[in-house]
Amino acid sequence: MTQEFTREIYSDWMRSTQEKKYKEILLDFILPMKDKINLDRDKILDVGIGKGWFEKKLRDRGIENSIIGLDVEKMGLASKDIEFIVGSGDYMPFRNNSFDIVLSFDTIHLLKRPQEIERVLSDDGYAIISTHCNERNFKKRGDKIKSLFDMEVLKEGIVGDPNDEMSYVVLFRNGSVV
């Protein structure tokens, strides 16, 4: 009983915390790029989708695009109209250049082959990658994310609450680095 109660409290806290960060990512990183990122048309892959809370934010805003979620195990998704594939982000079962947008929120540190993200991302596609951080290590974490990819950095910054949980986010564009 105590373990179930603890799991429920953690799940509620995690959902609330992640939803706050996802709202910031949507407002600060994606919507300002709406002239380049066409969320209604673009095909999206979320590597490490978890429960799909970010995709639910998209659906709640009326964005109806093709979303595929990839994770090592299937959890109850927050939005039912997402195609889910059980698999590893290290060996993605997709052809090269398959997606217009690839997301990976707070899971990049789990990947042994993060370059798979670049492989499945279309030419001139966008990747939004985040990693957990705090006020002491955010610079190092951001530099680490940027060192993993040969893509143009369009925007980077911190989302979340310093008193709760923060993530360093990088928005990349695939293609020629300027």
pTM of the model: 0.87
- 41 against 169, higher pLDDT: 169
Q: What is the mean pLDDT of residues 7-23?
A: 71
pLDDT at 1: 55
Task: Please give, one letter per residue, the 3-state secondary structure of 136-173.
Answer: CCHHHHHHHHHHCCCCEEEEEEEEECCCCCEEEEEEEE
Query: What is the C-alpha separation between 21 and 131, in angstroms, rounded?
Result: 11
pLDDT at 61: 81
Cβ–Cβ under 8 Å, residues 46 and 15: no
How would residue 155 be classed by pLDDT, with cut points 50, 70 and 90?
Answer: very high
Query: What is the C-alpha separation between 137 and 154, in angstroms, rounded?
Result: 21
- Boundaries of every domain in the chain: 2-173
Query: What is the C-alpha separation between 13 and 140, in angstroms, rounded?
Result: 26
- 178 against 130, higher pLDDT: 130
Query: What is the C-alpha separation between 105 and 125, in angstroms, rounded?
Result: 17
At the top level of CATH, the class of 2-173 is alpha beta
Average pLDDT, the chain: 86
Q: Which residue shows structure tokens 């969320």? A: 39
Take residue 26 and report the two structure tokens written for it: 């949507």
Take residue 127 and report the two structure tokens written for it: 């990747």
What are 17-46's pLDDT values in tens digits? 778 888 888 888 888 887 887 776 789 999
Beta bridge partner(s), residue 105:
130
Take residue 135 and report the two structure tokens written for it: 């006020």
How would residue 178 be classed by pLDDT, with cut points 50, 70 and 90?
Answer: very low
Checking if the pLDDT of 4 tops 70, the result is no
β-pairing, 121-133 vs 166-173, is antiparallel
CA dihedral over 125, 36, 157, 62, signed as positive or negative: negative
What are 85-139's pLDDT values in tens digits? 999 999 999 999 999 999 999 999 999 999 999 999 999 899 999 999 988 999 9
Percent of the chain residues topping a pLDDT of 70: 89
Q: Which residue shows structure tokens 């001139």? A: 124
How would residue 9 be classed by pLDDT, with cut points 50, 70 and 90?
Answer: low
Query: What is the C-alpha separation between 178 and 175, in angstroms, rounded?
Result: 9
